[in-house]
C-alpha cells in the first residue's frame, strides 16, 4: 500500500522542516510541491514557465499543472511507500482530485496533519528564512543559522532570501492561504482524518510531535 500523509498549515508553519526531519528518521518520502515547482522554474520546463509568475506573486499555480506532477509521482512510486505531501492539496478541488489520483494508483490518504502556529510566529519564520539556491537546504537566521553566516552548510553556496519571502508577497500568500487553503482543513475534518499538531515549539519539538502522530 502507498500511504499518503498530508501536511497542512499556513506558509511558514514549518511543514517542510518537519516533513523533511521525520522523513529522514522514518524512511518516508518527502514530496514538496513548492520545491518541485521551484526546480521546474529553475530548469525552464513547460510546467516551470507556467508556474513562474503565479509563484512570484504568491498566488496558486493552476491546478492542472499540479495534477500532472502528482499523477506522475504516484505512478513512479514503488509499492509499499509512505509519502509526506507538503504543499498539496492547497484547495478543495485539489483535495478531491487527490482522492481520485490516489485511488487510481493504489494509494490512500491516511491522515492530514495541521501544523498550528500563531501569525506572529509565521511572520518571524518566513522573515528569517534563508535558502540555498544550489542544493535547496533551508536555514533560519535565528532558529537554524548556518555555521558560517550566509553560507550553506551542505554545499558552501551563498544563501539567498526566497523570491516569495518579500514582505508584500508574504502578505498575499497568507491571504491566499485563508481564502483557498484553509477550507481544506474542513475537508479532512469531515473525513475524520484531521490531526492537529501544536507547531509553536522548536523544530525538534515539532518534529517529535509529528513523528508521534504519523506512527499512531
Ligand atoms: P511552498 O514552497 O509549499 O510554500 P508555502 O506553503 O508557502 O510554505 P513554506 O515553504 O513557505 O513554509 P513551510 O510551512 O514549509 O515552512 P518551512 O519549514 O520552510 O509553495 C510555494 C509556492 O508554490 C506557492 O505560493 C504556490 O505559488 C506554489 N504551489 C506549491 N504547491 C502548490 C499547489 N498545491 N497548488 C498551487 N500552487 C502551489 O519553515 C519556514 C522557516 O521557519 C524556515 O526558515 C525554518 O528553518 C523555520 N522553522 C521551521 N520550523 C520551525 C520551528 N518549529 N521553530 C522555529 N523556526 C522554524
Report how far Cα 150 is from the mean position of its chain's Cα atoms.
23
CATH level 2 (architecture), domain 2-117+182-215: 3-Layer(aba) Sandwich (3.40)
> What residues of the chain score a pLDDT lower than 50?
none
Please confirm, yes or no, whether 90 is among the known catalytic residues. yes
pLDDT for 113: 98
Query: If you measure from the C-alpha of residue 83 to the centroid of ligand 1, how many angstroms do you get, rounded to a whole number?
Result: 17
The one catalytic residue among 2, 15, 38, 52: 15
Please confirm, yes or no, whether 173 is among the known catalytic residues. yes
Q: Tell me the three cell numbers of residue 31.
A: 514530496
Query: If you measure from the C-alpha of residue 170 to the centroid of ligand 1, how many angstroms do you get, rounded to a whole number?
Result: 11
Are 187 and 2 a contacting pair, CB within 8 Å? no
Query: If you measure from the C-alpha of residue 13 to the centroid of ligand 1, how many angstroms do you get, rounded to a whole number?
Result: 7
Let me know how many helices (H) and strands (E) the chain has, helices first: 9, 7
pLDDT for 216: 85
**Which tens digits make up the pLDDT trace of 23-74?**
999 999 999 999 999 999 999 999 999 999 999 999 999 999 999 999 999 9
**Every domain of the chain and the residues it spans:** 2-117+182-215, 118-165
Mean pLDDT for the chain overall: 97
Of ligand 1's listed atoms, the one at least distance from the Cα of 90 is 34
Residue nearest to atom 41 of ligand 1 (CA): 125
Amino acid at each position: 500500500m502507498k500511504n499518503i500523509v498530508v501536511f497542512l498549515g499556513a506558509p511558514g508553519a514549518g511543514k517542510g522542516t518537519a516533513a523533511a526531519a521525520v522523513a529522514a528518521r522514518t524512511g518516508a518520502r518527502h514530496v514538496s510541491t513548492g520545491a518541485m515547482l521551484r526546480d521546474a522554474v529553475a530548469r525552464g520546463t513547460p510546467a516551470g514557465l507556467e508556474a513562474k509568475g503565479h509563484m512570484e506573486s504568491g498566488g496558486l499555480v493552476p491546478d492542472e499543472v499540479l495534477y500532472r506532477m502528482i499523477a506522475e509521482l504516484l505512478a513512479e512510486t514503488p509499492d509499499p511507500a509512505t509519502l509526506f505531501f507538503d504543499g498539496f492539496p492547497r484547495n478543495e478541488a485539489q483535495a478531491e482530485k487527490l482522492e481520485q489520483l490516489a485511488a487510481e494508483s493504489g494509494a490512500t490518504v491516511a491522515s492530514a496533519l495541521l501544523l498550528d502556529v500563531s501569525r506572529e510566529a509565521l511572520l518571524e519564520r518566513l522573515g528569517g528564512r534563508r535558502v540555498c539556491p544550489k542544493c535547496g537546504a533551508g536555514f533560519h537566521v535565528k532558529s537554524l543559522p548556518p555555521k558560517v553566516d550566509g553560507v550553506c552548510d551542505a554545499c558552501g553556496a551563498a544563501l539567498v532570501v526566497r523570491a516569495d519571502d518579500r514582505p508584500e508577497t508574504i502578505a498575499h500568500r497568507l491571504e491566499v492561504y485563508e481564502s483557498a487553503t484553509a477550507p481544506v482543513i474542513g475537508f479532512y475534518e469531515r473525513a475524520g482524518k484531521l490531526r492537529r499538531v501544536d507547531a509553536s515549539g522548536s523544530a525538534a519539538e515539532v518534529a517529535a510531535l509529528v513523528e508521534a502522530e504519523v506512527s499512531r
